[in-house]
Homo-oligomer: A and B are copies of this chain.
Amino acid sequence: MKGIRFRCWIDIDGEKYFGPGPVQLLQLIEQEGSLSKAAKAMGMSYKKAWDIINHLNDKATDPIVLSKTGGSKGGGAQLTIRGKQLIESYLELTSKLEAVVAENKQLLDLI
């Protein structure tokens, strides 16, 4: 089966900063309230998930995710307002791109 696909992401200083992977991870964090559960839910190692979130917070002017250790539930993680805005704006953009792609599927007739 043939199909047109695309990927859109944000670069900072030439290196990948934010894209489909982080989006899904943030959505799962919002849903689960936990970084380890979010990582497991998307079949990703905790370390990689943590690296992503750390990088996200590190390079941004305002934090994207707030996390805490200890407590009865062991700790947890949640999105900031900025984090939620970031997801929303990104999804808005990708949905526009998706629409353009859908309008140009005749490209597939060439192969």
User: A residues engaging B (CB < 8 A)?
Assistant: 1-14, 17-18, 59-61, 64, 82, 85-86, 89-90, 92-93, 96-97, 100-101, 104, 106-108, 110-111
Contact = CB atoms under 8 A, between A and B. Distances in A.
B11 A8 contact: no
Given A2-B11, A5-B11, A7-B6, A96 B100 contact: yes
Copies of this chain in the oligomer: 2
B6 A111 contact: no
B2 A9 contact: no
Contacts of A18: 111
Contacts of A90: 107
Nearest to A8: B6
Nearest to A3: B11
Given A3-B11, A8-B101, A92-B104, 5 more contacts: A2-B10, A2-B11, A89-B104, A93-B107, A97-B100
Contacts of A104: 89, 92-93, 96
B12 A1 contact: yes
A23 to B, nearest CB: 12
